[in-house]
Structure 1
Amino acid sequence: MNIRILFSGLTLSGLLLCPVITQAQQQEPDEIVLAQNEFEDNFYEAIKQKGIENYDKALQALQACIAINPNEPAIYNEVGINQLALKNFPEAEKAFLKATQLDPENRWYWQGLYDVYYAVQDWNKAITIVQKLTKWRKEFYEEDLVSLYMYTSQYDKAIALIDALDASVGESHKREMYKAQIMQNERYSKPKKEVLEAAIKKNPKEESNYLELIYLYSESNQEEKAEEVAKKLEKEIPDSDWAQVSLFKFHLNNNEGDKASKSLFRVLESNKIDRKIKHRAFNEFLIFVNNNPQFNDDLATAADYFEDDEFVNVPKEVGKFFFSKNDYTRAIAYFKKSLANNSDDIEAIELLLYAYNGSNQNEVLLKEAENYLDLYPTHARLYYLAGLACNNLGTFKKAKDWLEMGIDFVVEDTELEAGFNTELGRAYEGLGDTKQKESYFGKAERLLKSKKTR
């Protein structure tokens, strides 16, 4: 039943034609039916064998189909697919070419040929095929065509197509990278710069010309020129938020933290600037503050702009930054902000508790760990942190109880298991049980050694 359904679908989709229609006048009806059944049986066998990756057997069945009807393009397409899977590229090319000759209006036959040329990196032949494929999905295949022009160093064609796609479907990161690569060549960037400079003189209120010129100068490492253009943009169009994006980077490069902060706040307040650009600017400022801690307050103010961000938990990331600098007070404040937005974030919970430990707030650490254990009673690290806090507070019996309860929940985490054993060793040491202390310390040491040798 299923076999007939399959063949019915294939026939309706145009993949199978009557294999012996041209011979109907010379053959008896029974012979025609037998040949057709043999054709379908072999085709089904080929599909089945291909599905289980027996490509050689699939090809044998397809050859039987060709013997019955040598003019069916779908069969040659299947031959091409199987030959390509076997990496028999010349044979695959030959089969797909035959299919396209028999039915030049079938997109998938050309796609198969493109797959062959792409696999063997014959970019010039691939270009010819992709140009044909644009007939069916123009913008989709033009994206591939840009890459092929880049591979063959046909930069004139590449830049023209990039500009056309930018205008029709919008910019993309990949095309932006290609454009930057092309513009590193003075042959392309110099005339473009001259055109843009002339355009700015003619119409100093057109913002887009400044932005493109800044981009060109930046990509060719002419940062001073780019900064001049950004300042000119700010002077001519004082309310230009995009000028601040460029000036922000220049101020950072010049170590002008105060000016960089002002530009950053303008960027973050803007409704015109994309969220991704805002995140990028914020991250750059975060790196700057790493070496210039006097701007920590500005960083904190900037982070507040992202409190309602649905995509990136900025307070948590800032908390991680301060945590890495052992600034636990600031880290705690940001982890709390993060948890106010997402109370179920177990990573933020753990980081908050470790920050309490880092700032020696052991009573708060114990209280918070106990509270979170009510919500997450099988989370091993919470038991560990509760036991750690108790050890630090000198309540060794309570530490032992927490640690012994929690160690059973450790799953495939050698470092955490070693931590449990270390803290149990500390607890037993506090309780005066030297034998147990040595046992747990020894186990912790063995676990850490086993981790290093993995």
Structure 2
Amino acid sequence: MKKGFLVILFFALLGNTASVMAQIEPEDIAMATDQYQDSFYESLKQKGIENYDKAIVSLEKCIKLKPNDAVAYFELGKNYLALKQYRNAQDSFEKATQLDPKNKWFWSGIYDVSFETKNYPLAIETIQKIIVFDEEYKDDLITLYMITNQFDKALVAINEMNDKFGKSSDREIYKNQILSQGKYQNAEIGNLISEIKKNPKEESNYINLIFLYSKGEETEKALDVAKQLAKEIPTSEWAQVSLFKGYIDANQADKAIKAMNVILSSSKIDSKIKHRTLNEFLIYVNKNPQYAPDLEKAISYFDNDKEIDVAKEIGKFYHSKNQFENAIKYYEKELKSNSDTDRETNLLLLEAYTQAKQFEPLTKRAMYMIEVYPSQPQFYYYAGLGNNQMKQFKNAKTVLEMGLDYVVDDVKLEANFNIQLGEAYNGLGDAKKKEEYFLKANEVLKKKK
């Protein structure tokens, strides 16, 4: 809050009363002036050492000598305010404004009282009068709007102040608080579009608009803004978002990779945009596998990303394309970088091992996961399958029989257990048990139908 210190103005007031004093004897004028000055200086002295009561007594003498002295009333108000005698303080400040309504400091006295007493409607009314004299007081008005939850008015005032005086840290904090409530974002989007038209070389407006579009899941609009930014300010980090897309479409791999690395290493660019950039490059690498090393480097930028497990998502991408060797590489990377006991990632990895016919790592990983999740039947199944494929039929039989007890309401998994047990007994030379388990598998599948 702005606080004003009033330069002593009583000399000017003497000039205003010259015509009245001309009718009085010179000796009387000198005496009255001396008494006023002595009392006024005494009040300042007492206020300076926090003897506010004594200061008030001296100021009352001043007012008795000059009943229409606005400065004395203003000083009187400040002393009452220091004593927290708010009613007296306000009356004194109001008297000062009545005598001199064009002095902003007198109005600021009323504002100080209203703010301290939390009379915010009066504070807003008063600060609006002060703004007429000094527009920078609109920052105080913004604070009052925030306190009283008048966010729409605050947002308008913030944009006006930013436009006229430049941005301030306090205003940016307020603005972010307002925009965290979605209903105000459309108004801000309109404001930013207008600001970009007025000043196309101001990067921050593009970035804020991209952020709002990204937050609202309007990624295409965000990319359009990035494209506009690239045209106006090609050196901007955000401009690389648009340039990357253009380079990819034009099959200019080296330029695209360079732009991508700027995007992924930037602390300014939104994570959603980074993920989209990586995904586009992943699709490109799928068609152009010679750039796989660049994909590896790109993924490293996300090692500390808490929102998305990037390596796992890339593994899923290759999994869906039946490129199981690549899927395995990224699942293993994910488990190495984060928790190696993540259930979903391990199940995906075991399925990829199976499809890639990598039965030794399949069996080893499945047995490890049985120790971690001893009641999860899927891990027993993969351990049994792996042992069967490596002709370790006794081990397969043991682990499959243990795991079958944990299968509940999963017909497909139960049937698969019986098939693998049949294979285990077949490997052990027990044809009767083999047929028994194969028949059980068929019966279970019939139940499913």
- TM-score by length of structure 1 reads 0.51
Mapping for residues 223-262 of structure 1, pairs under 5 Å: 229-235=228-234, 238=235, 240-254=236-250, 256-262=252-258
1:400, 1:424 within 8 Å by CA — same for their partners in 2?
A: yes
Distance of aligned partners of 1:441 and 1:229 in 2 relative to their CA distance in 1, 3 Å threshold: same
| d(CA) in 2 for partners of 1:446, 1:178 | 60
Paired residue for 1:355? 352
2:230, 2:239 within 8 Å by CA — same for their partners in 1?
A: yes
| d(CA) in 1 for partners of 2:366, 2:147 | 61
| d(CA) in 2 for partners of 1:297, 1:332 | 16
1:169 aligns with 2:191: no
Deviation of 1:270 after TM superposition, in Å, equals 0.8
Counterpart of 1:231, as a letter, is: A
Choose which of 302, 309, 314 in structure 2 pairs with 1:313: 309
Paired residue for 2:199? 199
Identity of aligned residues (%): 44
Paired residue for 2:408? 411
1:425 aligns with 2:411: no
Counterpart of 1:410, as a letter, is: V
Name stretches of at least 5 consecutive residues in structure 1 with no aligned partner.
1-133, 143-163
Distance of aligned partners of 1:220 and 1:405 in 2 relative to their CA distance in 1, 3 Å threshold: closer
| d(CA) in 2 for partners of 1:221, 1:278 | 14
| d(CA) in 2 for partners of 1:380, 1:448 | 18
**CA offsets, 1:137-160, max 9 Å, x none?**
736x97xxxxxxxxxxxxxxxxxx
Choose which of 264, 268, 278 in structure 1 pairs with 2:274: 278
| d(CA) in 2 for partners of 1:302, 1:193 | 32
| d(CA) in 2 for partners of 1:283, 1:177 | 28
2:206, 2:225 within 8 Å by CA — same for their partners in 1?
A: no
Q: Highest CA radius of gyration, 1 or 2?
A: 2
Paired residue for 2:149? 138
| d(CA) in 2 for partners of 1:222, 1:378 | 48
Deviation of 1:194 after TM superposition, in Å, equals 8.2
Distance of aligned partners of 1:393 and 1:135 in 2 relative to their CA distance in 1, 3 Å threshold: closer
Distance of aligned partners of 1:193 and 1:256 in 2 relative to their CA distance in 1, 3 Å threshold: farther
Equivalences, count: 284
1:373, 1:382 within 8 Å by CA — same for their partners in 2?
A: yes
| d(CA) in 1 for partners of 2:443, 2:256 | 51
Counterpart of 1:229, as a letter, is: Q
3-state SS of paired residue (2:196): helix
Choose which of 330, 350, 370 in structure 1 pairs with 2:326: 330
**CA offsets, 1:264-295, max 9 Å, x none?**
21111112223343233323433444455444
Distance of aligned partners of 1:193 and 1:345 in 2 relative to their CA distance in 1, 3 Å threshold: closer
Paired residue for 2:21? none
Distance of aligned partners of 1:418 and 1:172 in 2 relative to their CA distance in 1, 3 Å threshold: farther
| d(CA) in 2 for partners of 1:251, 1:275 | 21
Choose which of 362, 366, 374 in structure 2 pairs with 1:365: 362
Distance of aligned partners of 1:284 and 1:243 in 2 relative to their CA distance in 1, 3 Å threshold: same
Distance of aligned partners of 1:209 and 1:377 in 2 relative to their CA distance in 1, 3 Å threshold: closer
Deviation of 1:246 after TM superposition, in Å, equals 2.7
- TM-score by length of structure 2 reads 0.52
Choose which of 429, 436, 444 in structure 2 pairs with 1:447: 444
Counterpart of 2:149, as a letter, is: K
| d(CA) in 2 for partners of 1:223, 1:277 | 9
Distance of aligned partners of 1:221 and 1:384 in 2 relative to their CA distance in 1, 3 Å threshold: closer
1:215, 1:226 within 8 Å by CA — same for their partners in 2?
A: no
| d(CA) in 1 for partners of 2:184, 2:326 | 38
| d(CA) in 2 for partners of 1:322, 1:225 | 29
3-state SS of paired residue (1:349): helix
Paired residue for 1:377? 374
Choose which of 412, 422, 433 in structure 2 pairs with 1:436: 433
1:365, 1:389 within 8 Å by CA — same for their partners in 2?
A: yes
| d(CA) in 2 for partners of 1:334, 1:167 | 41
| d(CA) in 2 for partners of 1:332, 1:207 | 42
Q: Superposition RMSD on alpha carbons, in Å?
A: 4.3
2:380, 2:403 within 8 Å by CA — same for their partners in 1?
A: yes
1:166, 1:172 within 8 Å by CA — same for their partners in 2?
A: no
Distance of aligned partners of 1:207 and 1:400 in 2 relative to their CA distance in 1, 3 Å threshold: same
Mapping for residues 50-129 of structure 1, pairs under 5 Å: none
Name stretches of at least 5 consecutive residues in structure 2 with no aligned partner.
1-144, 153-171
1:217, 1:226 within 8 Å by CA — same for their partners in 2?
A: no
2:227, 2:241 within 8 Å by CA — same for their partners in 1?
A: no
3-state SS of paired residue (1:241): coil
1:165, 1:171 within 8 Å by CA — same for their partners in 2?
A: no
| d(CA) in 1 for partners of 2:283, 2:400 | 38
Counterpart of 1:343, as a letter, is: D
Counterpart of 2:356, as a letter, is: S
Distance of aligned partners of 1:223 and 1:390 in 2 relative to their CA distance in 1, 3 Å threshold: closer
3-state SS of paired residue (1:447): helix
| d(CA) in 2 for partners of 1:135, 1:272 | 27
2:226, 2:239 within 8 Å by CA — same for their partners in 1?
A: no
Distance of aligned partners of 1:135 and 1:418 in 2 relative to their CA distance in 1, 3 Å threshold: same
Distance of aligned partners of 1:210 and 1:405 in 2 relative to their CA distance in 1, 3 Å threshold: closer
Choose which of 297, 301, 311 in structure 2 pairs with 1:301: 297
**CA offsets, 1:377-404, max 9 Å, x none?**
3221221111101111123232222211
